[in-house]
Amino acid sequence: MTSINREIAKHKILQQSNLLPLLIWASLVTGITGTVLGLLNLIIGLYIGGKDVPSLVQLQDGQSALVEPVDSQFRSDELIKAFTQESMSQLFTWNTVNQDNNGSRRVTDPGISVGTSRKVPTRAWQASFSLSSDFRETFMQEMAESFIPPGVLSGEAQSALLIESLSDPIQTKPGLWQVDMVSFLVIFDGQNPQGKATSFNKTLILRAVKPSLDPLPEETTAIQKAVYRTRSKGLEIYEIFELGSDQ
């Protein structure tokens, strides 16, 4: 009797009507598992795809460096401050005299005309390429007429810009920063051999630009190379105004 009941139960279990719910549940479990695995693969793919991949580049001196891609308008705070300090120091440090081995002084820089009857020292002219093109010409003319003492190009006067502090750059827009500079402009001449210091506090607006490359490294002159080096930083000074003024 027991054997007969087992055969009947086995026969009922194997019937198609009894297997259908089992197949449905198996399909649901398989589908859910596949969906979850697909979502996991998608998430992992998006994470890997959105992550910057480091690249190895070789420098001119033969050394290798690990770099990561960044936004074309990104500039680090350290680069912005270094560019600001170097550019402003070169713009406002004037000296056209060199001292020979025998101790005699001689003028070695005739200066460069900036579109007026006045000239500026060559070093300041080179540094002026750190300014934006629509700002540079006006600024250099004002510098020649109002800032540079007449005795600089004749070797009777010199200057030095002493920067006391630079604020951390504040990004006002993508690719645009503001830097506050506290400094003194010191003029050395016959009347002030020890130097006369004047407060020189400015707010500078800088913006990111496409870095310039030297297309003729073997044929360009020293002045041209200096200009290219200035523009190779990928930054330019867009505006300069008095610190604390409403602009």
Question: pLDDT for 181-208, tens place per residue?
Answer: 999 999 998 888 899 999 999 999 999 9
pLDDT, position 117: 74
**Structure tokens that stand for 216 in this block:** 């003729």
Tally of helices (H runs) and strands (E runs) in the chain: 6, 12
Q: What is the pTM of this model?
A: 0.70
Taking only the tens place, the pLDDT of each residue in 31-46 is 777 787 777 777 776 6
pLDDT, position 192: 87
pLDDT, position 191: 87
pLDDT, position 215: 61
Element (H, E) at 112: strand 112-113
| CA distance readout (Å), 35 to 21, 26, 42, 193 | 21, 14, 10, 83
Closest CA to 162 of 178, 146, 181, 144: 181
pLDDT, position 166: 96
Pick the CATH number of 77-242 from 3.40.50.300, 3.40.47.10, 3.30.460.80, 3.10.450.230: 3.10.450.230
pLDDT, position 245: 77
pLDDT, position 71: 73
| CA distance readout (Å), 115 to 73, 118, 154, 198, 230 | 33, 8, 19, 27, 21
Question: Which residue is listed with tokens 């920067």?
Answer: 163
- Which ranges of the chain have pLDDT less than 50? 1, 9, 13-14, 16
What is the percent of the chain where pLDDT is above 90?
Answer: 35
pLDDT, position 49: 56
Distance between CA atoms of residues 46 and 82, nearest Å: 37
Q: What values do phi and psi take at 214, rounded to 5?
A: -80, 110
pLDDT, position 171: 95
Distance between CA atoms of residues 76 and 4, nearest Å: 86
Distance between CA atoms of residues 33 and 41, nearest Å: 12
- 128 Cβ neighbours under 8 A, 6+ residues apart: 91, 120, 136, 139, 140
